[in-house]
């Protein structure tokens, strides 16, 4: 078990070192990174199988018992997110490889693979870490890698976007470190389980301040309103593979951190009013932003912000059903966002940009592309029988169970947001996909078909198709997924299993 | 032109440093470092070169001391790596990018990758024997000259960290310092060519 827990972040680091050494051999580098991620997927599957019944397993690095040493913990939530993230990471990597083979992208330097694997290690370490400081380290590994990734193939717009992104990221890191220092000052430990035991004795006011501080820290990274402004300015400008992985994973890692801290450290039984208002604001403001944008990537970025609101809504309920809904929503959203950004990358092949002003008739240019866009888009809006529908039903059911005027207000906002999402999507559909294609788009298609880079383009289309398929699979496997989500949610709200796994002999 | 100017013309490297002002009195007359090419950012200084020549071995020895003593005293791979990379930075400051290139055993990202392999490898190795991640094993032995010596497997991990830090600092120096210097030299050479063309009346009318 020690080995299984260590693999998801040690193997990507080893892979990063190997791909750095293989810089002169692009093909070997591509194989090495794909194999690395495949190993992580296999390992996460084993971890999920081991924890699906609600078991929590802790591994103490160096043999130093918690709370002294570095603790790695895997519970159903961590295992589920590890599996979904690694699958998405591998598919996006294959898409990137296809793009590199096809020669369609501007030359992306060979450091892409090492940095991408370091990002993977950071994401996995964040999910696994059992103490606040390692959570910070995981976040920093992930963020530092993302600072480097966002400026790949630099243009003026990308450098500008990366400035905003880096400054915002560093700001949240400073708050994070401050929060850790305060927690340490209050409890004398940073081990999550130990902190959870000792925070109970702390004054309610202090607990409230710390809870809000951590909400702000992770809220900046999760782009909840009013800390969302940076996201639509930075994600859409990066190259496709990178905006896809950022949109799919980085905000969700922050949502994971919110879930972990707000349940384990600052757990409560009643509905959190602050978070409910944040959820409502995030949902509504995000989607209103999406409605007035003219660029598909920017529309998707605003939709991303608004749908983070759904997760905060479920979290605010503080009930097993609510948190289970959040977990199903997380899985659905990771997959759907990655798919949509990959599709936007395919659109860029034909027109070179994603602005709605000069895209017409994509259904004629490429019917397959239209299907690839349509299915995840409907899922995002939450139409049955897609995964988005399953996730939203789970959340709304949890909301109705809880009752109360604020929750009904939140539910109304949720339904309105879904409708507005549908509206935003149909705006894209009507303007970009319907109509007669512009002549230069047909020319671009003819040129692409003549091009010698057929294999690469096939791989890009195939990986996007696989991603769409994974989205459908999430809907098809909704039953088992909901079961795991409920198990994980019970574990999270109870907290006993987690604490006992980390501190078998009780807190010192 | 004084004797230093003459020397500078002789010692011009492959890239040259055309158009630069003549070396001042502080330029070295003997060879202290392994290259004699003038850096683009200014004249060489004998004071700096002698100091670099004398200090670098001492700095490197200190870095190894920090690395080894780090097990239970202040120091360790990170501190040792920083000190060791300072030796290279000093060499770069004294002699420019050619001096840096002459002193580097291999490309910096190789050092970085090697360090990462060593560090992660030693972190994972105990797992294969059923021990937890990063578990340290230590051995004590009485050697003839050194007396009682304690060796902890953690040292290998620290060596990995050491290599990572050295590789990282060298990457930064060669990306931020040396590459900018190369670009500046190129621009200067371009300006010089343009001036020569104008003077000889060549080029397009």
ipTM for the whole complex: 0.85
Pairing of strands B138-143, B147-152: antiparallel
The pLDDT of residue A68 is 83
Between CA A211 and CA A229 the distance in angstroms is: 22
Domain that holds residue B24: 3-107+162-200
| Closest-CA residue to A251 (of A276, A222, A272, A275) | A222
Lowest-confidence range among A149-163, A186-200, A404-418, B13-27? B13-27
pLDDT beyond 70 at A450: yes
| Closest-CA residue to A16 (of A137, A94, A122) | A122
Higher pLDDT, B199 or A214: A214
**A75, A498 contact by CB (below 8 A):** yes
Pick from A2, A13, A114: CB nearest B127: A2
Higher pLDDT, A484 or A446: A484
Residues of B in contact with A72 (CB under 8 A): 133
| DSSP string for A261-273 | IIIIIS--SS--H
Contact A13 B120 (CB under 8 A): yes
Count of domains observed in chain B: 1
Residues of A in contact with B116 (CB under 8 A): 13-14, 16-17, 20
Least Cα separation, residue B43 to chain A (angstroms)? 34
Mean pLDDT, contiguous 10-residue spans, chain B (205 residues) = 40 44 66 73 80 92 91 86 93 84 84 93 86 82 80 87 94 83 83 85 52
The CA R_g of chain B, rounded to the nearest whole Å, is 23
Q: Is A444 on the interface with B (CB under 8 A)?
A: no
Pick from A21, A59, A114: CB nearest B133: A59
Q: Flag whether B116 is in a domain.
A: no
Q: What is the share, in percent, of chain A residues with pLDDT greater than 70?
A: 98
Residues 6 or more apart whose CB falls under 8 angstroms from that of B149 comprise B140, B141, B142, B143
Half-sphere exposure for B27 (CA within 13 Å, toward CB): 20
pLDDT tens string B142-173? 888 777 877 788 889 999 999 999 999 998 88
Q: Flag whether A507 is in a domain.
A: no
Between CA B53 and CA B33 the distance in angstroms is: 7
Between CA A433 and CA A365 the distance in angstroms is: 9
Q: Flag whether A222 is in a domain.
A: yes
The pLDDT of residue B4 is 42
Contact B132 A14 (CB under 8 A): no
In three-state secondary structure terms, A115 is: helix
Could you tell me which chain A residue has the CA closest to the CA of B109? A20
Q: Flag whether B102 is in a domain.
A: yes
What distances in angstroms separate CA A137 from CA A128, A144, A158, A210, A429, one per listed residue?
A: 11, 10, 26, 19, 42
Between CA A283 and CA A309 the distance in angstroms is: 5
Residue with tokens 């370091």: A118
Residues of A in contact with B127 (CB under 8 A): 2-3, 6
Q: Flag whether A83 is in a domain.
A: yes
**Count, residues in chain A:** 508
Q: What is the share, in percent, of chain A residues with pLDDT greater than 90?
A: 67
Q: Flag whether B118 is in a domain.
A: no
Pick from A14, A16, A63: CB nearest B131: A63
**Averaged pLDDT for residues A117-138:** 95
The pLDDT of residue A133 is 93
Q: Mark out the alpha helices in A230-272 (DSSP H runs).
A: 231-234, 240-245, 251-260
Q: Flag whether A508 is in a domain.
A: no
Q: Flag whether B28 is in a domain.
A: yes
Q: Is B172 on the interface with A (CB under 8 A)?
A: no
Domain that holds residue A132: 2-502
Count of domains observed in chain A: 1
Q: How many other CB atoms are there within 10 angstroms of residue A156's CB atom?
A: 8
The pLDDT of residue A330 is 95
Average pLDDT of the residues of chain A? 91
Contact B133 A72 (CB under 8 A): yes
Least Cα separation, residue B124 to chain A (angstroms)? 7
Least Cα separation, residue B158 to chain A (angstroms)? 14
Residues of A in contact with B130 (CB under 8 A): 2
Quote the distance between the C-alpha of residue A295 and its chain's center. Answer: 22
Between CA A452 and CA A468 the distance in angstroms is: 26
Between CA A74 and CA A129 the distance in angstroms is: 8
pLDDT beyond 70 at A452: no
Residues of A in contact with B110 (CB under 8 A): 20-21
Residues 6 or more apart whose CB falls under 8 angstroms from that of B79 comprise B66, B70
Q: Is B121 on the interface with A (CB under 8 A)?
A: yes
The pLDDT of residue A214 is 94
Q: Flag whether B133 is in a domain.
A: no
Q: Is A72 on the interface with B (CB under 8 A)?
A: yes
pLDDT beyond 70 at A223: yes
Half-sphere exposure for B160 (CA within 13 Å, toward CB): 20
């Amino acid at each position: 078990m020690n080995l299984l827990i260590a693999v998801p972040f040690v193997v990507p680091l080893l892979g990063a070192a190997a791909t750095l050494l293989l810089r002169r051999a692009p093909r070997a580098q591509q194989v090495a990174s794909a194999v690395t991620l495949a190993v992580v997927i296999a390992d996460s599957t084993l971890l999920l199988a081991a924890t699906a019944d609600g078991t929590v397993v802790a591994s103490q690095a160096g043999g130093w018992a918690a709370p002294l040493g570095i603790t790695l913990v895997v519970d159903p939530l961590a295992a589920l997110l590890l599996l979904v993230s690694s699958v998405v990471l591998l598919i996006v990597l294959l898409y990137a490889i296809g793009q590199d083979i096809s020669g369609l992208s501007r030359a992306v330097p060979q450091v892409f693979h090492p940095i991408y694997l370091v990002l993977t290690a950071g994401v996995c370490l964040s999910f696994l870490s059992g103490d606040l400081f390692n959570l910070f380290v995981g976040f920093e590994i992930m963020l530092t890698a993302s600072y480097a990734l966002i400026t790949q193939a630099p243009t003026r717009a990308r450098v500008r976007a990366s400035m905003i992104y880096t400054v915002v990221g560093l700001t949240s890191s400073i708050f994070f470190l401050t929060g850790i220092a305060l927690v340490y000052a209050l409890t004398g430990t940073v081990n999550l389980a130990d902190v959870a035991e000792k925070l109970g004795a702390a004054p309610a006011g202090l607990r409230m301040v710390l809870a809000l501080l951590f909400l702000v820290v992770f809220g900046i990274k999760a782009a909840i309103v009013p800390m969302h402004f940076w996201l639509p300015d930075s994600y859409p400008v990066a190259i496709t593979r990178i905006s896809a992985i950022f949109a799919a994973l980085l905000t969700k890692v922050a949502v994971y951190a919110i879930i972990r801290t707000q349940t384990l450290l600052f757990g409560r039984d009643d509905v959190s009013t602050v978070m409910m208002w944040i959820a409502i604001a995030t949902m509504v403001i995000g989607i209103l932003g999406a409605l007035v944008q003219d660029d598909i990537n920017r529309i998707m970025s605003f939709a991303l912000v608004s749908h983070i609101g759904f997760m905060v809504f479920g979290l605010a309920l503080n009930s097993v059903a609510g948190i289970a809904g959040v977990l199903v929503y997380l899985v659905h959203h990771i997959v759907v966002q990655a798919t949509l950004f990959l599709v936007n990358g395919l659109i860029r092949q034909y027109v070179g940009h994603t602005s709605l002003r000069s895209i017409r008739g994509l259904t004629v240019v490429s019917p397959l592309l239209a299907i690839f866009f349509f299915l995840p888009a409907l899922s995002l809006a939450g139409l049955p029988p897609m995964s988005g529908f399953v996730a939203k039903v789970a959340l709304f059911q949890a909301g109705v169970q809880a009752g109360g005027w604020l929750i009904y207000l939140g539910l109304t906002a949720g339904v309105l947001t879904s409708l507005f999402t549908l509206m935003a999507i149909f705006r894209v559909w009507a303007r970009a996909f319907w109509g007669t294609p512009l002549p230069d788009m047909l020319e671009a298609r003819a040129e692409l078909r003549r091009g010698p880079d057929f294999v690469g383009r096939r791989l890009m289309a195939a990986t996007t198709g696989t991603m769409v398929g994974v989205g459908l699979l999430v809907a098809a496997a909704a039953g088992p997924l909901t079961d795991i989500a409920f198990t994980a949610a019970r574990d999270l709200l109870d907290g006993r299993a987690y604490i006992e796994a980390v501190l078998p002999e009780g807190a010192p | 032109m004084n004797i230093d100017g003459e020397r500078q013309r002789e010692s011009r490297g492959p890239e040259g440093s055309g158009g630069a002002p003549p070396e001042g009195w502080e330029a070295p007359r003997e060879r202290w470092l392994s290259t004699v090419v003038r850096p683009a950012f200014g004249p060489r200084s004998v004071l700096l070169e002698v100091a670099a020549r004398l200090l670098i071995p001492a700095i490197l020895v200190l870095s190894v001391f920090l690395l080894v003593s780090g097990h239970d005293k202040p120091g360790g791979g990170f501190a040792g790596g920083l000190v060791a990379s300072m030796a290279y930075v000093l060499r770069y400051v004294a002699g420019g990018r050619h001096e840096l290139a002459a002193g580097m055993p291999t490309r910096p990202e190789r050092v970085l990758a090697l360090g990462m392999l060593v560090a992660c490898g030693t972190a994972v190795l105990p797992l294969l024997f059923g021990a937890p991640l990063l578990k340290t094993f230590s051995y004590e032995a009485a050697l003839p000259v050194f007396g009682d010596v304690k060796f902890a497997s953690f040292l290998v991990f620290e060596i990995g960290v050491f290599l990572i830090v050295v590789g990282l600092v060298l990457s930064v120096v060669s990306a931020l310092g040396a590459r900018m210097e190369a670009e500046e030299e190129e621009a200067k050479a371009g300006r010089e060519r343009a001036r020569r063309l104008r003077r000889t009346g060549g080029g397009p009318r």
